[in-house]
């Protein structure tokens, strides 16, 4: 695993989930950009002076996307060296003994779902678990303070929301979000529900 740390931006985000014990408090969360496509990943690999061409890289990535779910569905965990292991889990309701002994009962009725899980590699040389990843790979930098507030309703009566964003210094100087942000027009959207988490976003736009 590389020993060079990567600068990663984190945002300070307000918890607006009213049922949460952390409601109204602020938490750090990763500032993310738009999800990288296969083509974007191919381009990134090529920039690392890869010994094979674009077509070969794209073909391998495509096959990984096909073969890993197929193998995991067969109960076969798949480890990618330096990254981690993909494996299956089953989710079910509890089954009491009396039902299990009943010949008319189908245990699969308790099955809620089959999930494809991922476990980061955590050996001494390639530890991608949360604390070690922070120490060895990432150099966090505070980027923005964010909040998501209701901004009226649309013509159909659905709640509209806007996202407030400012630097930590601006937030501290204003004793909260600057008035211009709280009253001005901010990027946002229309939703039928309230509160909730912000979708992954970069430093601009939603």
pLDDT in tens, the chain (206 residues): 445 677 888 889 989 888 999 999 999 988 888 889 999 999 999 998 888 999 999 999 999 999 999 999 999 999 998 889 999 999 999 999 999 999 999 999 999 999 999 998 876 556 666 666 666 667 788 888 888 888 888 888 888 888 888 889 999 998 888 877 665 544 444 333 333 343 343 333 33
- Report the alpha-carbon distance of residue 110 to residue 112 in Å, rounded: 6
- Report the alpha-carbon distance of residue 32 to residue 180 in Å, rounded: 25
**What is the per-residue pLDDT for 192?**
33
**What is the per-residue pLDDT for 198?**
38
Q: How many CA atoms lie within 13 A of 73 on its CB side?
A: 6
Domain boundaries along the sequence of the chain: 6-190
| Secondary structure (3-state) at 7 | strand
**What is the per-residue pLDDT for 126?**
60
Classify the phi-psi angles of 178: left when phi > 0, otherwise alpha if psi is within -120 to 50, otherwise beta.
beta
**What is the per-residue pLDDT for 104?**
95
**What is the per-residue pLDDT for 190?**
37
Largest CA distance in the chain: 70
pLDDT digits (tens, 9 = 90+) for 149-168: 888 888 888 888 888 888 89
Topology of the domain comprising 6-190 = HU Protein; Chain A (4.10.520)
This prediction has a pTM of: 0.63
- Report the alpha-carbon distance of residue 63 to residue 57 in Å, rounded: 10
**What is the per-residue pLDDT for 102?**
94
**What is the per-residue pLDDT for 143?**
84
């Amino acid at each position: 695993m590389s020993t060079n740390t990567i600068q990663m931006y984190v945002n300070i985000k307000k918890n607006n989930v009213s049922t949460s014990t952390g409601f109204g408090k602020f938490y750090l969360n990763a500032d993310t950009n738009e999800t990288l496509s296969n083509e974007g990943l191919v381009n990134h690999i090529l920039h690392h002076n890869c010994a094979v061409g674009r077509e070969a890289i794209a073909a391998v990535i495509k096959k990984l996307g096909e073969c890993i779910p197929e193998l995991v569905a067969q109960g076969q965990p798949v480890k990618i060296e330096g990254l981690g292991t993909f494996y299956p889990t089953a989710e079910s309701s509890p089954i009491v003994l009396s039902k299990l002994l009943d010949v008319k009962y189908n245990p699969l009725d308790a099955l809620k779902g089959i999930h494809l899980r991922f476990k980061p590699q955590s050996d001494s040389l390639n530890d991608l678990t949360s604390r070690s990843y922070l120490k060895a790979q990432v150099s966090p930098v505070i980027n923005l303070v964010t909040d998501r507030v209701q901004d009226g309703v649309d013509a159909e009566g659905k709640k509209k929301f806007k996202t407030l964003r400012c630097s930590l210094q601006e937030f501290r100087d204003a004793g909260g979000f600057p008035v211009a942000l709280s009253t001005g027009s901010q990027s946002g959207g229309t939703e039928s529900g309230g509160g909730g988490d912000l979708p992954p976003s970069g430093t601009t736009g939603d």
